[in-house]
Structure 1
Amino acid sequence: MQETWRWFGPKDQVSIPDVVQAGARGIVTALHHQPPGAVWPLREIRERQEEIRTGSRSLPTPIEWSVVESLPVSEDIKRQTGDWRAHIENYKISLKNLFEAGIEVICYNFMPLLDWTRTDLSHEIETGATCMRFDLIDFIMFDVFILERKGAAEEHDAALVSEAQLRFQSASDSFKARLVNNIICGLPGAADHFSLEDIKEHLKIYEPYDHQSLSQNHADFMEMVAPFAQELGLRLCCHPDDPPVPLLGLPRIMSTEADYQRLIDAVDLPANGITLCSGSLGARSDNDLPGMMDRLGDRVHFLHLRNVRREHEDIFGSFHEAEHLGGDTDMAALVAAVLREEKRRREAGRADHSIPFRPDHGQDILDDLTRKAQPGYPAIGRLKGLAELRGLISGIQHVTENA
């Protein structure tokens, strides 16, 4: 398993030298300043690679840009509107440029409008650490009583809507404003300028789309780009919905094992693969992560290893980011399944037998609490997670090899 680390570019509060000290040997990043639908110029890709190498020159072999996360899919492509065909051609040019730069693994997602969604970016837990949290009642309060989305009340359980109404009536204006800002943070590139009216207008555009139509658009997209990626020897991997349920009336099409199987069946090429995110998928109690790795592992090109603590007994509800080995996902069983898949790949002679993973998210602990890095991406919290995962991997390998 290849240890990698997500880095948000030169403005990231966690530097490349920090990553070097953490011990990761690959960087996961993107040209975050490029808007969805635009071409990623080869010159800028190479410049970013050089920034990474320069920042890790203290190593005998500087670390490399291992995985792209993400090469974004434009809303026009998702809806098949506007300049969507031109955006697909641009996407293919970007893939070609990434190939020229020697980068083979490209993560993307097909979430409409919203990317990740949380209601609290600094929820304090009993240890004094903070983490990201999704509170279902707060989200319903936003959806029904702040955004006032048409038909929202009917889409939620009536008892939960009543609870959300009581909370709304007692909440301060500052709490409501913070809740809105937290949710807007999950709108790519929109945190600084989206208003509630902007969100309503964007939601209206998606009203004609349901699970079936958006799934078909996703399949159409992969039919156009996956064969091209296959010819280049690239591996595309779709990240799951986060959280893995419909939100704000938007369809969510990558939330379960059945969703991933449908995508694989639609375009049955090795280049059409999976980013298995144990945190996103783990927010649903009906997702069997170790089983998914065993059954779909042949197409898993990238791993996000993190854990969540579900605060409910239903398929979906409130949850918060837990310690990497301390949430509801059996991380030991998942890692064991990954190592079994890697063994199969080595025996089959596959060049991609070492699957890149990163310690996804992390709790803010110690100096993280004052550094205020990208939400979910603290330095020390992720270092702790990487150390825990590294020990888990080493322990399972030792037991397996000496059995």
Structure 2
Amino acid sequence: MLESWRWFGPQDPVTLSHARQAGAHGIVTALHHLYDGRVWTPDDIAERMALVRNAGMVWSVCESIPVNSAIKLRNENWRRYVDAWKQSLANLGKGGVPVVCYNFMPVVDWTRTNLLYPTPVGGLALRFDMIDFIAYDAFVLKRPGAEAGYEGALVEAARKRLEGMSEHDVETLERNIIAGLPGGEDSYTRETIRRHITSFDDLSDDDMRSNLVEFLKEVVPVAVENNVRLAIHPDDPPFSLFGLPRVVSKTEDLDVLLAAVDHTANGITLCAGSYGSRHGNDVVAIADRFAERIHFAHLRNVSKEPDGSFIESEHLAGDVNMVSLISVLRREERRRAASGRTDSVIPMRPDHGHLLIDDQTKKVNPGYSCIGRLKGLAELRGVIAAVDQLDVQAA
């Protein structure tokens, strides 16, 4: 596997040098300063590529070209934005970027309610608390119909939770949910997110799925022509937020999307933490079922709770059996190599990481501090080495 590291560009407090010292060989990055729907030019891409190469690494994955809401809604501006997306994709391929990760989440990207949740050993983790989210959705944002979309007991728990919150607590919760996390496309105020949610009112799950399939029909041929592998990221968390449709959350969703445009270039990002956040998802089984279409792996872990809440665990703890998952991925790499596929090495990165030691005193991107990810990458590297040794002995 190609050990990679997410980097948010020259403004990232965790530098390329830090990534290299952590043992990464690949860099996962995007032109985050150009997230307004414009075409990423060959010069833009070459400049970023040179920074990565000069640091002694390769640009292994673009994460992500943002998919504008007009594409998800397939409204009157759809053609303008999809054409720009296709041109950026072509330019990335011509510039030497082999994999493009993207997502199709409406309005909000990856979402957490607490960015500094204390762990038993003194670290700080990311957490999604369902009761906090309902409290915000139903009683702060006051989205029409929100209460009816949740179980009554959860709504009452949320009401009581909000009563115990200070104004500062509510402001922090709102900022965590709607102000935008690293790599996300949009940042909102309370009024702007209300309007944006409303724009999706008439869109069903089937409509959203159909719009995604139409998008794939447009972009997969461009990926094939330019030697790029597309890797759709699952919804995070993989269930509806704000009553919005989310259609990349479970096995059945992937069956539909991969069959709709049946080409190897139409693939997935196997995000263990995202798929692992949904009750009923077996991440190892998902990896095994769709192994030949996995073009990128996010290796992180979560511990779920019955009400839908979850905390991001240490990489080798939590609900996902990371040893079994890595065994599936290494087996797929060997199969690809034996069949002559040129993409036999799957890029992976330690996704997120606890805020540890003196990183707690620094300004860092939530989930993307240095020490927590370094620890995660070292642990994953050890699992890979152990899995490989056991396979050698078994042979």
Letter of the structure 1 residue corresponding to residue 15 of structure 2: S
- The match for 2:220 among 223, 226, 229 is 226
Number of corresponding residues: 392
Q: Give, in angstroms, the shift of residue 36 of structure 1.
A: 4.4
1:319 paired residue among 310, 322, 331: 310
Distance 2:202 2:59 in 1: 39
1:345 matched to which residue of 2? 336
Question: How far apart are the structure 2 equivalents of 1:162 and 1:272?
Answer: 43
Which residue of structure 2 lines up, in the alignment, with residue 195 of structure 1? 189
Relative to structure 1, the CA distance from residue 236 to residue 168 in structure 2 (aligned partners, 3 Å threshold; closer, same or farther) is same
Q: In the alignment, what sits opposite 1:211? A: 205
State whether residues 36 and 73 of structure 1, in contact with CA within 8 Å, keep that contact through their aligned partners in structure 2.
Answer: no
Q: 2: CA distance between counterparts of 1:4 and 1:166?
A: 43
- Whether the aligned pair in 1 keeps the contact of 2:66 and 2:185 (CA below 8 Å) is no
Q: Which amino acid aligns with 1:122?
A: L
Amino acid at match of 2:38: A
Q: Tell me the distance in 2 between the aligned counterparts of 1:396 and 1:181.
A: 41
Instruction: Determine which of 368, 389, 399 is the counterpart of 2:390.
Output: 399
Looking at structure 2, the residues matched to 141 and 19 of structure 1 have their Cα atoms a distance apart, in angstroms, of: 38
| Counterpart-to-counterpart distance in 1, 2:248 and 2:340 | 30
**Paired letter, 2:24:** A
CA contact (8 A) 1:67 1:106 kept: yes
Distance in 2 (alpha carbons) for counterparts of 1:185 and 1:3: 30
Q: Which residue of 2 aligns with 1:10?
A: 10
What does residue 59 of structure 1 align with? none
Counterpart-to-counterpart distance in 2, 1:113 and 1:151:
18
Give yes or no for contact 1:118–1:186 (8 Å, CA) kept in 2: no
TM-score when scaled to structure 2?
0.97
Q: Is the 8 A contact 1:119 1:138 kept in 2?
A: yes
Once residues 185 and 201 of structure 1 are traced to their aligned partners in structure 2, the CA distance between those partners, rounded to angstroms, is 15
In the alignment, the residues of structure 1 paired with residue 370 and residue 241 of structure 2 have an alpha-carbon distance, to the nearest angstrom, of 30
Q: 2:262 aligns with which of 259, 268, 275?
A: 268
SS in 1 for 2:101: strand
Aligned to 1:290: 284
AA in 2 matched with 1:133: R
Q: TM-score, with normalisation over the residues of structure 1?
A: 0.95
Which position in structure 1 is the counterpart of 2:71? 77
Match of residue 49 from structure 2: 49
| Whole-Å separation in 2 of the counterparts to 1:370 and 1:36 | 32
* Structure 1 residue 253, shift from structure 2 partner: 0.3
Q: Check conservation: 1:4, 1:358, Cα contact below 8 A.
A: yes
Query: What is the Cα deviation at residue 186 of structure 1?
Result: 3.6
Aligned to 2:360, which of 352, 359, 369?
Answer: 369
Candidates 82, 86, 92, aligned match of 2:80 = 86
Partner Cα distance (1:390, 1:380) in 2: 15
SS in 1 for 2:33: coil
Percentage identity across aligned positions? 47
Mapped partners of 1:18, 1:249: distance in 2 = 40
8 Å contact from structure 1 (residues 37, 88) kept in 2: no
Counterpart amino acid of residue 135 in structure 1: D
| 8 Å CA contact 1:68, 1:105 repeated in 2 | yes
Note if contact 2:301-2:315 (Cα within 8 Å) is conserved in structure 1. Answer: yes
Q: Give me the whole-angstrom Cα distance separating, in 2, the residues matched to 1:389 and 1:195.
A: 38
CA RMSD of aligned residues (A): 1.1
Q: List structure 1 runs of 4+ shifted beyond 2 angstroms.
A: 185-191
Structure 1: gaps of 5 or more residues: 57-61
| Contact map agreement 2:94 2:226 (CA 8 A) in 1 | no
Structure 1 residue 170: deviation in Å? 1.7
